[in-house]
Amino acid sequence: MRRIICLTVMNRPGVLNRVTNLFSKRNYNIESISVGHSELEGMSRITCVIHVEDEKASEQITKQLNKQIDVIKVTDITDQSIVARELALIKVQSTPQTRNELYSLIEPFRASVIDVSKESMVIQITGESEKIEAFIELISPYGIKELARTGTTAFPRGTQRSAPPKQVSIL
Amino acid sequence: MLQGAALPEVKAENTRSITGSDLLLDALEREGVEVIFGYPGGAVLPIYDKIYSSKILHVLPRHEQGGIHAAEGYARISGKPGVVIATSGPGATNIVTGLADAMMDSLPLVVFTGQVATGVIGTDAFQEADVLGITTPITKYNYQVRKAEDIPKIVKEAFYIASSGRPGPVLIDIPKDIAAAPAEMQEEAEIHLPGYQPTKHPNYLQIRKLIEAVSKAKKPVILAGAGVLHAKAMHALKAYAEQQKLPVIHTLLGLGGFPAEHPLFIGMAGMHGCYTANMALSQCDLLINIGARFDDRLTGNLKHFAPHASVAHIDIDPAEIGKNVETLIPIVADAKEALQELVNGEGKPPVHDEWMKQLEEWQEEFPYHYDQTSLEVKPQKAMELIHSFTNGEAIVVTDVGQHQMWAAQYYRFNEANRWVTSGGLGTMGFGLPASIGAQLADPKRNVIAVLGDGGFQMCTQELAVIREMNLPIKIVVLNNQALGMVRQWQEIFYDSRFSHSKFSSQPSFVKLAEAYDIKGVLIDTKEQAENELKHLLTCNEPVLIDLRIDPNENVFPMIAPGKGLHEMEGVKP
Ligand SMILES: Cc1ncc(C[n+]2csc(CCOP(=O)(O)OP(=O)(O)O)c2C)c(N)n1
Ligand SMILES: [Mg+2]
């Protein structure tokens, strides 16, 4: 199962190394990891998307992450109401003949063209991973020359519809 | 020892200014460090210049691996962090095994490594190694110092992290220019670790749940691990077990947490544990784990582990709870605090006469056994003699292999801090240097290093330290002229194809000891062992005893890989 885990960490040297090391040491499968500053000075936010066998495995990951000295907070937000976004840049082959066709695909996805040359154009798209995947599938027949994805970054919505956030550790 | 904020003594001829290394030694003195296990080299020369005039005892092992194992032995017995210094590059990589060992067995260490100067880090400079990268997975935490002024704070944090919560090794990498950089003495540093707040106090509701479960249990049992020792919870454990009349089982590393001679003590469980302990785990209906991590050598095949039991688990590390075994009552806490709460709860003791009777019957019918009629020295007999000649009061340090299991089975520990062994990592070469640290931590107590002839040869060089410091350690090499534990597995699981597990030649250990100016004695009959061991084990000088044991002896009972605890082999003669 796919889980989205959010971490708040102290912005210290080596912290990302410790987090990724933990994934490889414990043989966890990461789909993506995205890191950047948070609203708090000296703190960064990490969003990891992982694949695990069951809830038990994801609980174990959460606990192991929580144990790290520089990790302030860990939440598995998969079951919460969240906003999750990913950005992708796609360089796709385009000729004067196909360009218009491509534009017509781009529009419904609210993607944008940020660079155009004779043989290609660069499209930027943001959204949930599924949307990005659907778009990539759609335009791949035109010939994707380069593709870069940032991985998901996410956090819980202001108002939670359903159950309260999952308790991480048993204190 | 320096008091308060006093500056380190500056010798008359030493008029150089205060540097990062001064801050380092000052910080160590503030932590009350008594002994450093260190080995010099280029990158730590500025630090060693300050050690030259420091009052802290410095022990020079003959290999950095020996140094860090000695620090582990010291930490295990004293309960205080062991302090290690190694130089950059090869010095640092030589301590990797010890870090992994300490990480596995939750031993507090504060380890300093030299590093090349900041200006050349990342250029593959002479003796540069990416020590942070190498040690990240095998340390509880690690630092690289970027500014000399940060040293006091970092050292203080390191000691706090190493010794609190679930203890473990912390490494501090110090570039040479930082160690030599001018710096100013500082006031007491303050630590700032917002992401690290170990939970010590148990959740009241979970404690009530456990009290309730105990009162209803028909077949309850306590499994006590090394967490009991780390938390200094021995008295609380005894009080609780006695109040509730609960039988107690130990893990390999927990030995000594509960008195072996106590009527409620069952014995050690696990791969080479006793029949009753393993059967009790297999058949109990309530399993109370206190500070053990359900390691695979303890549980055997998890599918068959404690199949009828509700599991309660008290651990300071929340990540251990539910990691391997489904847990009904999780209690994140310091073992001592949790046990005190349990005692204060004054729950109704269980009605479990039949269970206790069953345990007693097993004890009587299936004790550890060996051929007592043999004229050869049986290793089990040797351990019984060692136990009786030291009144069961010595510190026993072992290496890894068959001898380790015989020591665990036959030396009955009645007190804590008498047992030093490498459990989680199973590190050969650990025993001899660890005995040095153990002796330094408890100078008056008799220290017996029970080693295999294989593992002894992995860190033999530390005999030099034993002589140099005149440590009256009794080294007993249980010599079966083989890598006995490997030989045993090959005999049982590989059709006796003894691939590289028997030594075809060996040095004379007696002469080797003599070369280090240590008394060496060869013993090869049971009669000789009975007559001579007592004197050798109680004299006040270092001795090496090359004790020739039956080379074909195996450790039993034994649980084959993949089998459950109830599927022991070799239970009966
Ligand atoms: C560093 C290291 N290498 C290899 C092993 C694998 N190993 C476990 S026990 C053992 C045999 C130890 O032989 P010896 O020290 O003579 O002890 P004995 O089993 O004979 O009592 C070996 C090779 C290990 N535990 N540690
Ligand atoms: Mg041997």
A27 token code pair:
């043989």
Output the pLDDT for position A163: 56
A28 has pLDDT over 50:
yes
pLDDT in tens, B290-308: 999 999 999 999 999 999 9
Task: Give the three-class secondary structure for B331.
Answer: strand
For the CA atoms of B253, B254, B259, B265, what is the dihedral angle to 10 degrees? Answer: -100
Chain B residue with minimal CA distance to A22? B137
Output the pLDDT for position B312: 98
| ipTM, two decimals | 0.89
Output the pLDDT for position A8: 96
| Across A71-75, average pLDDT | 96
Q: Do B136 and A21 touch (CB under 8 A)?
A: yes
pLDDT in tens, B29-88: 999 999 999 999 999 999 999 999 999 999 999 999 999 999 999 999 999 999 999 999
Can you give the pTM of this predicted structure? 0.94
Output the pLDDT for position A162: 60
Please give chain B's pLDDT, 573 residues, in tens.
Answer: 334 444 444 444 444 689 999 999 999 999 999 999 999 999 999 999 999 999 999 999 999 999 999 999 999 999 999 999 999 999 999 999 999 999 999 999 999 999 999 999 999 999 999 999 999 999 999 999 999 999 999 999 999 999 999 999 999 999 999 999 999 988 888 999 999 999 999 999 999 999 999 999 999 999 999 999 999 999 999 999 999 999 999 999 999 999 999 999 999 999 999 999 999 999 999 999 999 999 999 999 999 999 999 999 999 999 999 999 999 999 999 999 999 999 999 999 999 999 999 999 999 999 999 999 998 999 999 999 999 999 999 999 999 999 999 999 999 999 999 999 999 999 999 999 999 999 999 999 999 999 999 999 999 999 999 999 999 999 999 999 999 999 999 999 999 999 999 999 999 999 999 999 999 999 999 999 999 999 999 999 999 999 999 999 999 999 999 999 999 999 999
A167 has pLDDT over 60:
no
Active-site annotation holds for B485: yes
Q: How far is B385 from chain A (nearest CA, A)?
A: 44
- For the residues of B50-91, what is the DSSP string, one character each? HHTT--SEEE--SSHHHHHHHHHHHHHHHSS-EEEEE-TTHH
| Across A53-72, average pLDDT | 94
Output the pLDDT for position B16: 62
User: B352-356: long-range contacts at Cβ-Cβ below 8 A with a sequence spacing of 24 or more?
Assistant: B352/B217, B352/B218, B352/B219, B352/B220, B352/B245, B354/B218, B355/B218, B355/B219, B355/B220, B356/B245, B356/B247
Q: Which of residues 138-167 of A touch B (CB under 8 A)?
A: none
pLDDT in tens, A99-115: 999 999 999 999 999 99
Residue type, B46: P
CB B316 within 8 A of CB B198: yes
Output the pLDDT for position A166: 52
Place of tokens 């590393």: B253
B325 token code pair:
């075994």
In chain B, what residues touch A67 (CB-CB under 8 Å)? Answer: 317-319
Question: Where do the DSSP E strands lie in B427-485?
Answer: 447-452, 474-479
Catalytic pick among B485, B556, B558, B568: B485
Q: How far is A159 from chain B (nearest CA, A)?
A: 27
**Partner-chain residue, chosen from B133, B194, B323, that has the shortest CB–CB distance to A72:** B194
CB B100 within 8 A of CB B127: no
